[in-house]
Amino acid sequence: MGAGATSVLPSVDVLMSRYRERVLDAEIASPGLARGVIHPLAASGRHAPLRKAGTPAKERQALEAAVTGAATDLSALAAAADKRAADLLAGQIAGLSDPALIGPAFEAIEGGEPAATAFRDAMDLQIADCQAAEEARLRARAEDLIDLRDRVLRHLVGGGTAKPKAIPENAIVVAEEFTPSRFLEIDWRRACGAVSLVGSPTGHLALLARSRGVPLLIAPDADPAKLNPGLEAIVDAEAGRLILAPSAPTGRDYDARIAKRERERTQTQRWLGKPARTVDGIAVRVYLNVDDPALLEGVDPAHCDGIGLVRSEFLFPGESGLPDEERQYRVYRALLAWAGGLPVTVRTLDAGGDKPLAGLAPEGEANPLLGLRGLRLSLARPEVFRVQLRALARAAAHGPLKVMVPLVTLSEEFNRARTLLTEELSALEEGGIVAARPELGIMVETPAAALNIAEFDADFYSIGTNDLVQFVMAAGRDCAGVAELLDPQNPAVLELIMRVCARGRALGREVSVCGEAASRPDCIPALLKAGVRALSVPPATLGEVKKAIALAEIGT
Ligand code: PEP
Ligand code: MG
């Protein structure tokens, strides 16, 4: 090649640098380790060149068709998804017919904008508002809106319903903006890890990844141009690192760590069938927390003592509030049937706070965690509460169903709940409808309830440490900046737990813990020492929890 001529081939240095190990810091959204090859998802339609405008009528039609196409995709995904995911998708589908969300785009079309520009700009404004919000719930909503924006844009500018290309074995799926519905399109039996360049470790995407055990990193510093298909990579969602083109020693090191993790997981499963008994012989009952009955598939009821917490607000995805009595009754009965004679504890609707339910929980409260939520909301909406109590009383005729009420502060609130239950039982009896009185317990989630526990004549007590800890420590459970304060082992929290346990012992009534602390091996010894003898935990943690109990020494 003559002097001065420039080569179109990359230099050897550039080529080598592509294969040199690079380590990027990333946020952990779902823990785990994965080694595989990069599989980038096609970019969203957001950056595609947008067409010139046709007539407003044509553009309106184009947007309507794209919105319908997006709703059809989402419905198909929802039909194949588990309940929690279907719930999330139902929220998105509802958004597509919400005039507040899509109205501004149609207005811009009338003003002469092309459909794609109008829709993208209108959504971008709403996304920016959500991203700038102080409330974590609104910030998480930004993820859903991005998902909707991109799905509709793909229909408008091309790509349409195209499914992601076949996922190679051991893929590490990378997306610039990995949205929940795109996540649900992936076959995670083939892929082993995920990376999103944008997102929040507390958003819906993270919840979906965690419930499926998919390690997920949020890596804002990764350059999408360098995440080439087939490039070897490691998702270290234990240390928060994305390693590209790992060297041979790094690869070997991670292979060993991944194999060790897998061995530990298999060993933990061995504890499933063993009795939950401490080193010093104290028996502990272990119940399950159920948000989504699909997660009970593959769980053997013989490995637990029943269901200790059914979060009824999550049982009916896509509903605003709870469905009619008959549907509720059937779902509660199905849980009793799964448990085969073991107790099933259903918590009455716990809407409001961090679980907004459209049309039911109040909107716009300055501090919803301290607002009209839990039992307070049920008492304010007796027409909803009574239907749930009737459905529960009818189901209780078919097995050991227990009912508990969330976020109780005063004994008067609990007494009013008991009165409503008694009234509904009488009405059922008068109508000749088969029903039975379920045991009625309280969730201890407020410091007031824990301190005044002697005033509560409940059939059982279940300590919701997630809420209790946030109120004792004055640190919001969704405020990342104060997460270190959320310590269930803080002496102030343990003092309250001991108090409730003493009350339970004195009356011979059960005290359980159903918050996250119950499934944390590091917290279990302290809970047992405080007097807790029943834990309720997510199904996926059952083996680990039984192991932690078996290794604990209480030393009474
Ligand atoms: C709790 O607060 O500990 C609890 C189990 O309820 P939730 O997490 O649903 O508020
Ligand atoms: Mg709670």
Q: Name residues with Cβ closer than 5 Å to ligand 2, which is an ion.
A: 445, 464, 467
> How many structural domains comprise the chain?
3
Nearest residue by C-alpha to atom 1 in ligand 1: 464
Q: Is 22 exposed, middle or buried (0-12, 13-18, 19+ CB in 10 A)?
A: middle
Q: Which CATH number covers residue 376? A: 3.20.20.60
Tell me, yes or no, whether 509 lies in a domain.
yes
> What per-residue confidence (pLDDT) applies to 23?
95
Q: Does residue 5 lie within any of the structural domains?
A: no
> Do 409 and 498 reside in the same domain of the chain?
yes
Q: Are residues 504 and 389 in the same domain?
A: yes
Q: What is the pLDDT of residue 524?
A: 98
Which is catalytic among the residues 155, 204, 303, 523?
204
- 290 and 336 inside one domain: yes
67 in a structural domain = yes
> Do 135 and 245 sit in the same domain of this protein?
no
> Residue 418: its pLDDT value, please?
98
pLDDT of residue 271: 94
pLDDT score for 139: 67
Residue 304 annotated as catalytic: no
**What local confidence, expressed as pLDDT, does residue 213 receive?**
80
Sole residue written with tokens 């195209």: 162
Does residue 83 sit in the same domain as residue 226? no
> Do residues 35 and 90 both lie within one domain?
no
* Alpha carbon of 345 to ligand 2 centroid (Å): 15
Q: Is residue 14 part of a domain?
A: no
Same domain, 316 and 418: yes
Most informative mutation of 514, 519, 537 for ligand 1 (most atoms within 8 A of CB): 514
Residues in the chain predicted with pLDDT less than 70, given as ranges, are 1-19, 43-51, 82-84, 134-140, 158-165, 202-204, 211, 317-320, 354-358, 478, 480, 556
Which segments of 257-410 are extended strands (E)?
285-290, 307-311, 344-347, 401-405
User: Given 234, 265, 296, which residue is the final one in a domain?
Assistant: 265
With the C-alpha atoms ordered 418, 422, 427, 433, is the resulting torsion angle positive or negative?
positive
DSSP states along 291-317? S-GGGGTT--GGGSS-EEEEEGGGSST
- Domain boundary (130, 157, 184) is at 157
**Cβ of 466 below 6 Å from ligand 1:** yes
Instruction: Based on the fold, state whether residues 467 and 355 are members of the same structural domain.
Output: yes
Atom in ligand 1 nearest the alpha carbon of residue 467: 2
Which tens digits make up the pLDDT trace of 307-365? 999 999 888 766 667 899 999 999 999 999 999 999 999 999 998 776 666 677 777 78
Q: Which pLDDT does position 164 carry in this prediction? A: 57
Give the pLDDT of residue 12.
58
Q: Is residue 7 part of a domain?
A: no
The residue out of 213, 236, 265 marking a domain boundary is 265
Q: What local confidence, expressed as pLDDT, does residue 1 receive?
A: 38
Specify the pLDDT at position 5.
45
Q: Which domain holds residue 63?
A: 45-157
**What pLDDT, on a 0 to 100 scale, did the predictor assign at position 165?**
62
Residue 255 forms part of a structural domain: yes
343 and 197 together in one domain: no
Residue 464, ligand 1, Cβ within 6 A = yes
pLDDT of residue 51: 65
Structure tokens at 86: 């279907």
Same domain, 216 and 304: no
Determine the pLDDT at residue 136.
61
For residues 513 and 497, the answer to whether their CB atoms sit within 8 Å is: yes
Q: Catalytic: which of 130, 192, 501, 514?
A: 514
pLDDT of residue 440: 98
Residues 6+ apart with CB under 8 A from 167: 39, 173, 186, 187, 190, 191
419 and 276, same structural domain? yes
Q: Are residues 387 and 323 in the same domain?
A: yes
CA 370 to ligand 2 center in whole angstroms = 12
**Ligand 1 neighbourhood includes 291 CB (under 6 angstroms):** no
Q: What is 10-36 written as a DSSP string?
A: PPHHHHHHHTS-EEEE-EEEE-EEEEE
In this structure, what CATH number is given to the domain that contains residue 26? 3.50.30.10
